[in-house]
C-alpha cells in the first residue's frame, strides 16, 4: 500500500481522458499513452509490458493495481505453473492501492503522473483494462 492519500480513480480518469484526446489543461500534450485490454490480469500485464517495449524509460516503470487485482494476478500465476518463471514483466515492482479501480492496471514511471492526476508528459504511460469476459 502507498503511504500517501492518492486517488487513483481520478488519476486513471485523467490518463484515459488524455488517451481519448480530451483537451484539458491538466494533461501535458507530449504524454504518450499506450492502452491494452486483456481477458485477465496476467494477459493485461503482458500486453502493457509489450506495448511499452520501445519506450526508452521502460526499465524504471512499475505496475499499479488494486489489492484485489494483485490477488487475481497471483492466482493466475499459480495456475500458469512453471511457465510463469519466464514472464519478463514479473521483474517489475507491483504497487497496490485501495483507490485503484479493480478493472485497471497502470504501467508507468512513478513520476509520470502527479498526485493530483496531472500527466507530466515526460514518459510513456500504459493503461490496461481487464475485460470482464474471461477466457474459458
Which pLDDT tens digit goes with each residue over 46-58? Answer: 999 999 998 888 8
Is the entire prediction scored with pTM above 0.75? Answer: yes
Over residues 66-73, the mean pLDDT reads: 96
pLDDT at 79 (0 to 100): 92
- For residue 26, what pLDDT is reported? 46
Cross-strand bridge partners of residue 95: 64
Closest CA to 40 of 112, 129, 136, 130: 130
Confidence of residue 135 (pLDDT cuts 50, 70, 90): very low
pLDDT at 94 over 50: yes
| Burial readout 10-38 (b: 16 or more C-beta within 10 A, e: otherwise) | ebbebbebbbeeeeeeebeeebbbbbbeb
The average pLDDT across 71-78 equals 94
CA distance 37 to 22: 20
Pick the CATH number of 8-18+33-130 from 1.20.120, 3.30.2320, 2.60.120, 1.10.150: 3.30.2320
**128 Cβ contact partners less than 8 Å away, ≥ 6 residues apart:** 35, 36, 37, 38, 44, 45, 47, 48, 104, 105, 106, 107
Q: What pLDDT score does 85 carry?
A: 85
Amino acid at each position: 500500500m502507498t503511504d500517501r492519500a492518492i486517488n487513483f480513480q481520478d488519476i486513471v480518469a485523467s490518463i484515459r481522458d488524455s488517451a481519448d484526446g480530451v483537451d484539458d489543461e491538466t494533461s501535458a500534450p507530449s504524454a504518450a499513452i499506450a492502452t491494452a485490454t486483456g481477458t485477465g490480469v496476467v494477459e493485461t500485464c503482458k500486453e502493457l509490458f509489450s506495448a511499452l517495449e520501445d519506450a526508452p524509460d521502460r526499465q524504471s516503470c512499475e505496475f499499479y493495481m488494486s489489492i484485489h487485482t494483485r490477488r487475481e494476478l497471483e492466482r493466475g500465476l499459480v495456475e500458469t505453473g512453471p511457465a510463469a518463471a519466464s514472464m519478463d514483466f514479473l521483474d517489475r515492482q507491483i504497487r497496490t492501492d485501495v483507490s485503484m479501480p479493480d478493472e485497471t492496471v497502470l504501467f508507468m514511471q512513478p513520476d509520470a503522473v502527479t498526485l493530483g492526476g496531472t500527466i507530466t508528459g515526460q514518459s510513456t504511460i500504459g493503461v490496461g483494462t481487464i475485460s470482464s469476459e474471461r477466457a474459458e
